[in-house]
Structure formats: C-alpha cells, structure tokens
Amino acid sequence: VKHILLDVDTGVDDALALIFAAKSDKLHIEGITTVFGNVDVKQATKNTLQVLELAQPRYEIPVAMGADAPLFRPRRENVTAIHGANGLAGYELPEERQTPVNERASDFIVRKVREQAHDITLVFTGRLTNLAVALAKDPSIAQKAKLVLMGGAIKVPGNITPVSEANIHGDPEAAHRVFESGIPITMVGLDVTGKAKFGEAHYQQLMSGFTEEQAELKAFMQHIFTFSFEASDRLNEGRYRLMHDPLALAVVEDASLVEMEDYYVYIETKGPVSSGATLVDFRRPQSRTNASVCMQVREEAFLQHYIQTVLS
Ligand code: BDR
Ligand code: CA
C-alpha cells in the first residue's frame, strides 16, 4: 500500500480522481489539501469533502484548505463550461458532515512529510502553490517525499495557451520553484492524459456495473460524465471525458501503465504565450535531470483499471 497526500482543485476530473483514490486498496490517503483552480479554494474544499463522503463514507480523511491565489499573481479563471459553476457539473451532493482541519495546507504538508519521511508520495492534480509554500517553509521536505503531478505538456498544444497547460499556467512561479527544488518528480502531462478518453462504451460498462447500494455514487458519476460528454461534443471533439487527474493517481498505483523518460524540465514564467510552458531539454547526453516524464500511456488498460477500481 502506498501512502499518499493529495492536493486537488476539485472540479470534475479531480472528483473522478478522488473516487478512484478512495476506492483503491493499493493507495492509502493520509490527507488532502485543496487549492484554487477549477473553482475557488472554499468551493474546492467543499467539493472535496462531499466527494470523499460519497466515495468513502466509512473513513474520515483530514482535509486542509490551502491557497486561494497564485504566489504572485491575481487569480483569474473561468472554466464553468468544463466543470460547471460549482466545479461538479452543477450536481448538488449532500452537505458535507466533516469540516476542514484547523491547519493550513502548507503546514499540513510539511508536518505529514516530516512524520512519514521517505514513505509518502505527494500527488498534485492542481496548481503547485501549496507545495511551493511548503518548500519555502521547509526546503528539506524535497528530500523526504516524492511528487507525482498532473500538469504541463511536453508536446504541444497546451490547453490555456498554445504551449501551456492549466495547472502550470495557473501558477508558473510555484511550478518553477517546485521543479527546481530537488524533489523527485513524475510528470503526467496533458499530451499523455489527452489520450485517456473515457467514452460512451466505458460509460455504459461503468453504469451497468454498479450495485444497488452504490446508487448515489452512480447518480453522481452519471451526471458528471453526461455533462462532460456534452461539453466535449460542443467543441466538435466527440463524446468523451479526458481523464487527466485520475491518470496521475493510477500512475502512483501502477507505473507500468505508462512509459517514462528522465529529462530536465524548465518552467517558463514569462511571456504571453510561453508563461507556464514546460520546456524539456531533449539534448543527449543529459548531465542532470529533474523529472521522470510520462511519454506514452496504455490508455485502454488504464481505463479498464479505473472502471474496476470504482466498482470495487
Ligand atoms: C487540468 O486542469 C484542470 O482543469 C483539470 O482538473 C486538470 O487537473 C488539466 O489541464
Ligand atoms: Ca485538477
């Protein structure tokens, strides 16, 4: 079992990742921190608690609220077409029972990494702001944990600018600090998650597998997949949901789902187009590297694993 600390900006695909992590018997969630991104941090925290309680009603996992803006920039985001006004495609889950813990996300991260040094994987599916703040508070945590992140794009296009992906573009200075911190990084970028398309056939398979006790989870997933299919349809792309954040969790569980190569990844922080770009140094030989970069994914194996885990 892998011990993980998750950091999320709970919109639709973060919710799908949370459900996967909560159901997986190979992952143990030590805690969750939240960040602005798909929605503001308060909404992300509320969504996180509600989705957790839906997926895993028996456990109380500590949730710590984090940054509501990038390190040095104002927050500006509008992703309601993709995630709905509340981040969960407009679905109203029951009010959460739990409240967030009385500790800031960055402090929570520092404490957990110290307590579980060398036995914890940080999994980030949003902006890297909370980790950048944690590293500023205690740079030595970079030697005590690993990081798996959904973010960046080593092959264009990006999804915010022609070359930048949302999680890095949303706080490039934070990403820059994290990539230069020395923490071992596995990067699950947009060019790879963009191949993980959960389509109609996967949807039918998932829906027909739920038991009666899972009716609430089924109704939620039915809603968010249908919303996502309609959103991608409007963009003339066909009916599917890109499984960005769930793939990062699946890679933590089973790295054989992807092919990785080690590179030095530079984070651009300036320029109207280049800000947030993840530039890879492809020159050989490499004198130094800072990330294992996912290059390929066995997407159907991943999607089947996702379905089986959620139904378990
Ligand atoms: C990333 O941006 C967010 O909208 C998604 O949740 C995912 O983490 C994809 O670029
Ligand atoms: Ca996300």
Which residues does 196 contact at the CB level (< 8 Å), separation at least 6?
242, 243, 244, 246, 247, 297, 299, 302, 303
Which of the four pLDDT bands, split at 50, 70 and 90, describes residue 144?
very high
On the question of pLDDT at 87 being above 80, the answer is yes
This complex has an ipTM of 0.99
Ligand 1 proximal residues by C-beta, below 6 Å: 11, 13-14, 38, 79, 125-126, 150, 159, 165-167, 190, 244-245
* Model pLDDT, residue 146: 98
Pocket mutation for ligand 1, best pick of 167, 190, 197, 251 (most atoms within 8 Å of C-beta): 167
Pocket mutation for ligand 1, best pick of 14, 78, 124, 192 (most atoms within 8 Å of C-beta): 14
Of all protein residues, the one whose alpha carbon is nearest to atom 10 of ligand 1 is 166
Q: Which atom of ligand 1 is nearest to the CA of 166?
A: 10
* Tens-digit pLDDT profile for residues 182-238: 999 999 999 999 999 999 999 999 999 999 999 999 999 999 999 999 999 998 789
The residue-averaged pLDDT of 281-296 equals 94
Going from the Cα of 245 to the center of ligand 2, the distance in angstroms, rounded, reads: 6
Which residues does the annotation mark as catalytic? Answer: 244
The answer, as to whether pTM is greater than 0.90, is yes
